Every structure is written in structure tokens, then in C-alpha cells.
Amino acid sequence: MDKLVTFTGVVAPLDRANVDTDAIIPKQFLKSIERTGFGPFLFDEWRYLDHGEPGMDCSGRPLNESFLLNQPRYAGASVLLARANFGCGSSREHAPWALLDYGFRVIIAPSFADIFYNNCFKNGILPVVLDGATVDRLFVATEATEGYTLALDLVAQTLTTPDGETIAFEVDDFRKHCLLEGLDDIGLTMQHVDAIRAFEARHRDANPWLFS
């Protein structure tokens, strides 16, 4: 996965609490395990006026003009600002796949559902937990200022607003390391590829009948 070290993105404010994974990517899109191609169907039932199905061409679908991702001011947003308990519901990993495929690399909320929170790190998304008062201030600023951006410095564990305010956040050291180095579970395993190959060779030599 791509490294995440520093990052600046336009903020999209999703002013809803308890957004579940079925809202993030509805169940009919779970047939694929390719990890890509889900971005056009992110928040499908809120984003479009018709019913979405896998493989549809979304370019001509009727849009819900009131939904934030269909508003020109949030075009190209890559930081999602949300309310409490974001990512609740089922444990589908397709939810972070869809968010990442759309272009979101950072999600900010007062709290996240545990499994969704863990899945974000495994897919190169940084979920940032901030207190409710700070999230409230960011909602006000984002809605008041078109093109509102936040700048991430993961090493320093800070977000910086356009007026220079620095907001600190906490992140687990191991998860931070994985994002900085672009390591998912497979990448972590492949760091030990020489030891794995040596073990396989010893195992083959000690138990040749298993490989005949």
C-alpha cells in the first residue's frame, strides 16, 4: 500500500453520527474482492437517486444534489470529517476499500467502530480520533470556507488548519510505523521473506516425503 507521511487534502464534512458500513458500501457490492473499483459506489444510496448494482456505469446515474460528495465545493475531497461511531455495523473490509478508492486518506471523527478502525490502518487510511469540541469547530470552519484543507504530518502526529492552528492526535506506534512505511499485513510478512524461504528449505530437506 502507499506510504502516508505528509498529506494535504480538501475536507468533506459528513454531518451524520453512527454511519454504518452498509451506508458506506451497500451489501450488493460485496461480491467482488478485488479491492478496487468501489469508489464510484461509495455512499451509493445517499449519493444517487436510483438503485446501484455492481458493474453499473455511474456517469449517467441521477444524482442526489444535496449530498455533499455531489457538491462542487467538495470535489476531490480526500479528508472526511465525520461524527461519532463512524463505520459501525458489519465488519466488511469493503468499506475502507471504497473510501480509499474514492480518494480519502484521512478520516476524522470523535469515535470509530473498532473493526472498521483497524481495517482502515490495514488499507492505508488514517482514522484520527479528536474530541467532540474540536470536531465541532472543524465542521463550522469547513462549512464556512470553500476549499477548506487540513495538512497532515504523521511523524509529528498533527493536523494543521489553513490559519495555522496545530491539532495534535494520538496514534499507536506500530500502526503509525506501518502507515509511514506503506506496510499492510502482506508487506509486514514479506519483510521476513529470507527467513521464510530458509525455513521452507529446511522443512523440505527434513521431510522430503511431503514434497514427492
Q: What is the distance in angstroms between the CA of the first residue and the CA of the last residue of the chain?
A: 37
- Looking up cell 465525520, which residue turns up? 82
Question: Structural domain of residue 91, as residue ranges?
Answer: 6-181
Q: Which of 17-31, 94-108, 152-166, 181-195 has the lowest mean pLDDT?
A: 181-195
Tell me if 175 is assigned to some domain.
Answer: yes
* Whether residue 187 has pLDDT greater than 90: no
Non-local (6+) Cβ contacts of 92 within 8 A are 21, 25, 30
C-alpha span between 198 and 211 (Å, rounded): 16
C-alpha span between 189 and 90 (Å, rounded): 27
Domain of residue 112, CATH code: 3.20.19.10
Residue 108 sits in the same domain as residue 188: no
Query: How many other CB atoms sit within 10 Å of the CB of residue 197?
Result: 10
Grid cell listed for 194: 529470507
Residue 17 sits in the same domain as residue 39: yes
pLDDT of residue 57: 96
Say what percent of the chain tops pLDDT 70. 100
pTM: predicted TM-score of the whole model, two decimal places:
0.91
Answer whether 107's CB lies under 8 Å from 85's CB.
no
Residue 101 sits in the same domain as residue 162: yes
- Identify residue 35 by its one-letter amino acid code: R
* Whether residue 33 has pLDDT greater than 90: no
Tell me if 164 is assigned to some domain.
Answer: yes
